[in-house]
Amino acid sequence: MAETVVHEPHQHRKHPTPRDYWVIAFILGVITAAEVALSYMDFLGFGGPVLLIIMAIAKFAIVALWFMHLRFDLAVYSRLFVVGIIGAISMFLVVLATFAAL
């Protein structure tokens, strides 16, 4: 007789504690402070906007995974958000390149 494999729809991870949320809030605050400081630095040239985009992606991922609880859902939901942010940034860069803003 063949064995049937039952796939659970959700990964069972330990949900975050209030301390975890405070740590995440601190990390988001540090990234935001770095973004604000970076926006005042003119000597970085093209590297400045690239770093700002990378930090924005990092903040998006942290908020989506922790505060929207995507860490605890199916991986397909996380992938949809990643595809969305990559698509949005790609569209932004194409528009900037079209108008020779880069």
Backbone angles phi, psi at 10, to 5 degrees: -125, 145
Helix (H) and strand (E) counts in the chain: 3, 0
In whole angstroms, what is the distance from residue 92 CA to residue 97 CA?
Answer: 9
Check residue 7 and give its pLDDT: 52
Check residue 3 and give its pLDDT: 60
Residue 97 DSSP code? H
Check residue 26 and give its pLDDT: 96
- List, for residues 50-101, the tens digit of each pLDDT value: 888 889 888 988 888 777 777 777 778 878 887 888 888 889 888 888 886 6
In whole angstroms, what is the distance from residue 97 CA to residue 59 CA?
Answer: 24
